[in-house]
Amino acid sequence: MAPQTSIPVAANVLGTIATILWSIQLIPQIISNWRKKKTDGLPGAMMFLWAISAVPFGVYGIVQNFNIPLQIQPQVFCVLSLVSWFQILVFNNGWRICTAFLLTCGIAVAFGAVEALLILTLRDPYARGISWPMTAVGVIAAILLGAGILPPYFEIWKRGGRCIGINWYFLGLDWMGAFISLMALVAQNTFDYLGGVLYLVVLLLETGIFATHLIWRIRTRSLHRRAKAEGVDFDDLPEAKKYQVPSDGKITTPASSSQHVELGTGGYQGEIQDAARPHRWSSDSRASG
């Protein structure tokens, strides 16, 4: 497909909205990580694969001459993903802040250099009608983007369908950003199918995360009602232990505790709530269950 020669106003408006959403999408997750000083349940592989995917994603958008907001979008996405990955290194893996910071900055610079090199290398051949390299770049971006959303499914499976560690505000903003980005492509003069796949991958896999946790809530509704009636947190119930850790007991480190997510509960809706600390519960913690 030839690069876009003109961008309709509607595509620019939708692209701008999507860029704003994707510029703030990971902020709730980053804030939650910082406040809890924990990232249990948030896979580092997810954030790193997303950061990597932004490189071919950015190359594809710039060479295809997408509207400017959609060209900026992958760059913001990469930075926020690396910030969250940095937090995982520090809070969950025990890295020193200085070491993790230098590594993250070095990777960010390397990603930027690779993206710039690919743009300079592929732009001229693409303008001359050689499209297969750009198709390959788009496919790689889609694969990496989708692969980044697979690790949470493994965490969900280990907990019997329960999703912890992922902030629901973040996931909702990311879903909306992908949907509006897709609509921005629809509003362009010619629809880019491969670019559309990038957003559809996100929409489908993130819808699956919402659905699995909702199904888990429905399956455990009697336990939640019982916990509420007894005035205890859900994770205090003996029957709830199987939803806190996997059978091998390796989800959390000895120094950390399990966490639990409640959709639309607690003072900060969507925020991950502490769980499984029976001797140190505060009244606020119990109320959020």
pLDDT of residue 280: 38
* End-to-end CA gap in the chain: 52
* Angle value at C-alpha 243, between 206 and 254, nearest 5 degrees: 105
- As a whole number of angstroms, the distance between CA 284 and CA 224 comes to 17
pLDDT of residue 271: 38
pTM > 0.85: no
Strand pairing category for 259-260 and 273-274: antiparallel
Per-residue pLDDT of the chain (289 residues; tens, 9 = 90+): 555 556 788 888 888 898 888 778 899 999 999 998 988 889 999 999 999 999 998 999 899 888 788 788 889 889 999 999 999 999 989 999 999 999 999 999 999 999 999 999 999 999 889 989 998 998 898 899 889 999 999 988 888 888 888 999 999 999 998 899 889 888 887 787 877 887 888 899 999 999 998 998 898 888 878 878 887 777 667 776 767 754 344 444 333 444 443 333 333 334 333 433 443 333 343 333 3
pLDDT of residue 13: 87
What phi-psi label fits residue 266: left (phi over 0), alpha (psi between -120 and 50 degrees) or beta? left
Within a 10 A sphere around the Cβ of 80, how many other Cβ atoms?
23
